[in-house]
Structures are given as structure tokens and as C-alpha cells.
Amino acid sequence: MTRLTERNPLTEHSLGNFDYSLVSPPPEALDALPETVAERTRRVYDRMAGIYHLSTFFFHSRAHRCALQASGIRDGMRVLEVATGSGEMFRRLVRANRNGLNCGIDLSPNMAARSLRRVRRDHPEARATCHAVDARHMPFRDGSFDAVVCCYLLELLSSDDIELALREFRRVLRARGTFTLTLIGENTQLFNRAYRVCGRLAPAFWGRQVAERVPDLIEAAGFRIVTDRNVRQGFYPSRVLTSRR
């Protein structure tokens, strides 16, 4: 595990002995609790970790390139990616920030582990780590990061949890830091109809589209939107927003 210097943004829990009881119920408690949407989502994405990279290749890679460009991330920054998935965007961030600090989190332990393995394989010299953490309750100090990036997460959260997550993103971002958010677009009617059907069939995987209402929530959370771009990859639309704290 990479040893961090005094700039370690975690609280008293180091990266090497992270206390996962801070971010989710202990395993023995899960059977005693009603299964929440978050828990169903974690289980679904744990199972999909080995093949999820295919969706990025076919649907997300163009939006990822746009998000990296819009983020303004420069080498030497402290960067957090929320919801790394299987790590495609996380590897882009590490390549752009080889001498900086790169932290990734994902609700799915399998996704987080896959992201870290691939970064360690491709960039063994990088200061990078990735953990299974709930984006609604992140164990980082206030103002820890110069940039926060989040791709395709908010579709899986309830309205209340979107607001909670956005407040957390702002809390861990330094003053005048950059928040880059990628959402599933809503500017194609045929795609929208198909997505609504998929969301009803498998809500824990597909969620629902939120791109039209999230900008107001971003500004209500205390951000200022500076760029707003629509991106298409085949039939799949994405929306990339960049904001300042």
C-alpha cells in the first residue's frame, strides 16, 4: 500500500488500515436490516466488476475524455474520483496526475479492487489508492482535494442522497477547487424511453436519468457551474458539467 506523506487527506484512519465499519454496516448486520437500494446496487456492481469495463469502452470513453479535459487537472494535484467503477476514468486521472495524489472510491469493493489493481499494474510508480467507500459519508478532511471527479453515479441515488453526496463533494474540495460531473444525458427521446424501461427492469443497475434536474442541485449545494457539454458515443448521450467551489 502506498505510504502517504503529511498531505494524507484521510482522517485518523490511514489508507493501510482503513476502518470499513465507518462506511457500511458490518456484514453480520446486513441480514437483520431491510435491503436498501444502496446495498442492492453494491451487490449488483460487485457481480458486474469483471465485465463492466465493456460499457465504458462502448458508451463512456468519449465522455471520460471530455471530463478530463474540462476538469483542468494538472500534474501534482490532489485528485479524488468518486465511483471509479472498473477504473477506466481513474487510469486517465493517474496518467494526467503522475506526480500528484490520486484517491478513488467506489461503493463496490470488487470495483474498487479492480480499479486499484489496474492502476498498480499500469502505473506502479503513481501515488494512487482506491477503497470501498460510500460517497454519502466520505472519511476525508474538509478541503482535502484540488479536484473531484464523479461519473455516472447520481443516477443510482435517491433525490435526498444526491443532495447529501453533493454536499460531501463540496466539503472535501478546497476553496476554488474544481468539481467535474458526468451524467447520462436526457437529450434523445428514443434513448430516454429505452432507459426508462431498463430502469424499471433493473433499478439497482440502471437507476434513472437525472441530468435535467441536477444542475439546480449543484448550484444549491454551493457550486458555480462554469461549463456544460453534451457528448454522444453512438446512441448513448452524456452530459459533462464542470463547477467551481
| In the chain, domain spans | 22-244
pLDDT of residue 51: 64
> Is the dihedral angle over the CA atoms 88, 94, 97, 100 positive or is it negative?
positive
22-244: what fold?
Rossmann fold (3.40.50)
pLDDT in tens, the chain (245 residues): 333 333 444 333 334 433 333 333 333 322 332 345 567 776 766 666 666 665 776 678 999 999 999 999 999 999 999 999 989 999 999 999 999 999 999 999 998 999 999 999 999 999 999 999 999 999 999 999 999 999 999 999 989 999 999 999 999 999 999 999 999 999 889 999 998 998 888 887 788 899 999 999 999 999 999 999 999 998 899 999 999 99
Asked whether the beta carbons of 186 and 212 are under 8 A apart, the reply is yes
Q: Residue 237 burial by CB count (10 A; 0-12/13-18/19+): exposed, middle or buried?
A: buried
Start-end of H helices in 132-178: 159-172
Long-range contacts made by residues 215-219, C-beta under 8 angstroms, separation at least 24?
A: 215/241, 217/162, 217/163, 217/166, 218/166, 218/179, 218/181, 218/243
CA torsion 184→173→124→12, rounded to 10°?
-130
Asked whether the beta carbons of 210 and 183 are under 8 A apart, the reply is yes
The helix or strand, by DSSP H or E, that contains position 66, with its residue range, turns out to be helix 61-71
Pairing state of beta strands 127-132 and 78-82? unpaired
The helix or strand, by DSSP H or E, that contains position 233, with its residue range, turns out to be strand 224-233
pLDDT of residue 49: 62
pLDDT digits (tens, 9 = 90+) for 123-162: 999 999 999 999 999 999 999 999 999 999 999 998 999 9
User: Closest Cα to residue 56, out of 118, 6, 102, 121?
Assistant: 118
The CA distance from 38 to 245, in Å, is 27
The CA distance from 83 to 90, in Å, is 9
The CA distance from 60 to 43, in Å, is 22
Asked whether the beta carbons of 151 and 221 are under 8 A apart, the reply is no
pLDDT of residue 198: 86
Residue 237: φ, ψ to 5°: -95, 145
Pairing state of beta strands 145-151 and 101-106? unpaired
